[in-house]
Structures are given as C-alpha cells and as structure tokens.
A and B are shown apart, each in its own frame.
Chain A
Amino acid sequence: MTNHAAVLSALADPTRRAIFERLAASPSAVGELARQLPVSRPAVSQHLKVLKEAGLVSDHAAGTRRVYSVDNLGVGVIRDYFEQFWQQSLDRFSAAASQSFREEE
C-alpha cells in the first residue's frame, strides 16, 4: 500500500505529475523524459527519486539503462492523482471566474 500523504505531496508538483503521466503511458529512461520535458536530466532524476519513494514508480536495469515505469496503479493512487488534478484545476477556475467577474463590474 502506498502512503497517502507521500503520494499527494509527490503528485502536487506539476513537473512530477507530468513525469508520472508519461510513465503511465510508457516506461522510459531518464534521458527520454528529459528530452520530452523542459527539465534538465539531473532534475528529472531528482523528481523520479521522490516518485519512487512515494511508491508511484519503480525502476529496473535494461542493459546500461535504468527504465522507470508505473506499477500497481490501484484505485488509491488514481484517487490521489485526481485529487491533485482537480484541486489545481479548481484553483485556476476560481481565479479565472473571480477575475472575469471583477472586470465585468
């Protein structure tokens, strides 16, 4: 079982969430992730370390490379993922709705 607080805090960072989403789509090595995202290789490694500690991703050696993947994606993880996603989305919505109303007045 994953630790709820650790999962939430790991997914709270938008870059980490982007990395997690890419790994859910296909297992990747650090270099591949760094090429797809506007983040340096050392930063990707750091984010992967946090995701791994939260139990969201695991890694294995494939030749000279280390490949990361998303395993055991149970409903708890899905819930944590959407909780973060909607919190950030509703914050954006609230800011947009409040601002456009002020401008209309």
Chain B
Amino acid sequence: MTTRVLQTAVSTEVDVEAPVEHAFRVFTEGIGTWWDPDHHLLEGELAEMVFEPLAGGHIIDRGTDGSECRWARVLAYEPPHRVVFSWDINLRWEVESDPAKASEVEITFASAGPGRSHVVLTHRHLDRHGEGWESMRDSVGSGWSLARFAEVARQG
C-alpha cells in the first residue's frame, strides 16, 4: 500500500482480494464490518452503521440507546466504481453543521485482474478544517488560552 500526499488532500490506496462489486458493497453497505468502532460520534455505545445507498443519503451511526448521528452526506453513489461523501466532522470528532467547513472523501474501485480490486481513497479540501481552526483561534485571540489556563488552574 502506498500513500501520496497532495497539498490539501491525502490519497491512500489498497488492494483487495475480491472483485470490484464485492469491494464496493463491503465499503458501503458493510461499513460497520471494518470501520474502527472507537471512531463514532455517539455519546453511548454504537449499535450499527448505515450507509444509505444513494446520492443525497447519509452515513449514519446508530447507538444502542436509539440515538443517531448523521456525519456524512453521500454526494455520489456509482456502484461498483465510485462513491463520494462529505466529511461533516470537525477535528474534535464532533458533527460539523457548516458545509463550508466540511471536507470530502472520494473512493474509486478498479478491477486489478480476476477476483482482485484496486481501491483509491482521496480525502480532499482538508484546508477547510484548518481554516476553521485558524479562524476560531484568531477570533478569540489570546483570550482563549488565558481563559483556559485560568480555568485549568482553578480546577487544579
């Protein structure tokens, strides 16, 4: 596996020992079988992940307590070769409600011989998170860290 780094994007590739149709299905419908369960945005325990199979759908985390978190909008759904979704998550692993601060993930699936696929994932517009961070820091200036310091010092 190799990784190429673009300026505001990262691109990662992997080979799969399965045809593209199967790889596409496991990536989307079967997202819960491979997604790191530590990386969900619910308060409670994760029960299942749902990848709605259409453009305009969402990727949804469902909790055992019935809570729901929609953390991605499906922007393109083209089985078995391509899927694109928004990354509506900020750097604190919370849902980002401002689409201008969301980045984007594109995955392509290409046949690499019988029973074999080559999958390329590109996560782009990462600067949108960076701008969010910068603007937040700038808008509150040094007051933020001083206030934080005072708060931490009080508790300590």
Contact = CB atoms under 8 A, between A and B. Distances in A.
Interface of A: 18, 21, 24-25, 27, 29, 60, 62-65, 67, 69, 73-75, 78-79, 82-83, 85-98, 100-102, 104
Interface residues of B, number: 42
B38 interface: yes
Interface string B132-156: 0100000000000000110011001
A79 B13 CA distance: 15
Contact of A62 (B3, B30, B153): B153
Given A24-B92, A64-B156, A92-B34, A87 B133 contact: no
Contacts of A94: 14-17, 119
26 contacts: A24-B92, A29-B156, A62-B152, A63-B156, A65-B152, A67-B152, A75-B127, A78-B126, A78-B130, A79-B9, A86-B12, A89-B34, A89-B36, A90-B1, A90-B119, A90-B121, A91-B1, A92-B35, A93-B27, A93-B34, A94-B16, A95-B34, A97-B26, A100-B30, A101-B19, A102-B17
- Residue from A97, A100, A101 having most chain B Cβ neighbours under 10 A: A97
B10 interface: yes
B97 interface: no
A100 B12 CA distance: 22
A98 B17 contact: yes
Chain A binding surface, main DSSP class: helix
Contacts of A95: 34
B153 A63 contact: yes
Interface string B63-107: 000000000000000000000000000011100000000000000
Contacts of A97: 16-18, 22-23, 26-27, 30, 34
A83 B16 contact: no
Nearest to A8: B3
* List of 8 A-B pairs having minimum Cβ-Cβ separation, nearest first: A101-B18, A98-B17, A96-B34, A75-B130, A97-B26, A63-B156, A90-B14, A93-B34
